[in-house]
Amino acid sequence: AQSVTQLGSHVSVSEGALVLLRCNYSSSVPPYLFWYVQYPNQGLQLLLKYTTGATLVKGINGFEAEFKKSETSFHLTKPSAHMSDAAEYFCAVSDNNKLIFGAGTRLAVHP
């Protein structure tokens, strides 16, 4: 069965600093991988996804993630954090169109 592990429930960065949110997955088949962002009391917004093809995926708001099969990882990065990036981030793997979510990482951005 597929599963997702997000290392670090809380990450804090300074504005302008690099953002790195870690995600490792377990899947018996080639995975479809996703990163979502959630603002308080709101639904989920897709940041980016990997299905097939290029392993470096660019998403919205300057985020990108790289699928590394050898490391079973799909870490999310952004070169320069902005205050508006403060939110909860979820990594997910698709299991027959069902999404299996990681526990989430809360990103705090301080001035």
Partner 1 sequence: GAVVSQHPSRVICKSGTSVKIECRSLDFQATTMFWYRQFPKKSLMLMATSNEGSKATYEQGVEKDKFLINHASLTLSTLTVTSAHPEDSSFYICSADPGRRNTEAFFGQGTRLTVV
Q: What's the rounded Cα separation, in Å, for the pair 5 and 84? A: 25
Which position among 22, 24, 66, 104 is part of the footprint of partner 1 (CB under 8 A)? Answer: 104
* Smallest distance from partner 1 to CB 80, Å: 25
- Binding of partner 1 at residue 29 (CB under 8 A)? no
- Restricted to residues 42-101, the positions that interact with partner 1 (CB under 8 A) are 42-46, 49, 51-52, 90, 94, 97-101
Instruction: Give which of 4, 7, 16 is closest to 81, Cα–Cα.
Output: 16
DSSP string, 75-95: EEEESS--GGG-EEEEEEEEE
User: Residues 36, 89: contact at Cβ < 8 Å?
Assistant: yes
Residues near partner 1 (CB under 8 A) = 32, 34, 36, 41-46, 49, 51-52, 90, 94, 97-104, 106
